[in-house]
Structure 1
């Protein structure tokens, strides 16, 4: 009886010692990988370490720049969803805003008219954008 109690106490002390050694580890890559694979997130000790690291990091605060806001956001969203491009009023507003920016590309002073103004007008009225030949000419002109 005395021998079995002694062996139980020694086994208990060894088990407690082994558990405290495992719990005292600061990082165990195998356990971290297993925990992340099983639960899809870092272990609690790793989460605590990451939060402490994030709390001690210094970040530069940047004021958010307000982007251009359309006059009617619902209509603009609907028009963009239906036609895949901004509405004509929004396009004009964006072009005017782009022309008034401090850093703009120098435009050529020579304006070339399209060869067939009737077709160009009809195409713009029907599709709301320049015809492919006119679009190519405009792209070449801005380069």
Structure 2
């Protein structure tokens, strides 16, 4: 979670120009988001955490919509995807289907993300790409220098070893 938070905050390639610190984040009741470590990280970054009520996906529609898009437009096309069959395919995959390694999966995900952000025009954005909508949004964000976050993903494990 800390590595994901660090990537979300920094405006570096391959994730930029998206990023920065908002005044507030809304999280669901997932243990990962409400853990002591993540809560302390948000406190350190001076970001207010709003814990949403259980079973209220309508309060985080953008995230839920993006999650559905990743699954229906990206994950379903990958070898080894087993949740549902691709259109026109049978409901099982060949036993000898070669799965992607971490590097190949990451490369494909980054390429899909670049396409989504710079070419895809979701209907709710009224003809804009997500990048255009991000750049047009006047919400103030604070930047954090990468040097200030270089140990951000390291949590104190307790007693010295």
TM-score by length of structure 2 reads 0.21
Structure number having the greater strand percentage: 2
Query: Which protein is bigger by CA-based radius of gyration?
Result: 1
TM-score by length of structure 1 reads 0.23
Structure number having the greater helix percentage: 1
Higher relative contact order (CA 8 A, sep 6+): 2
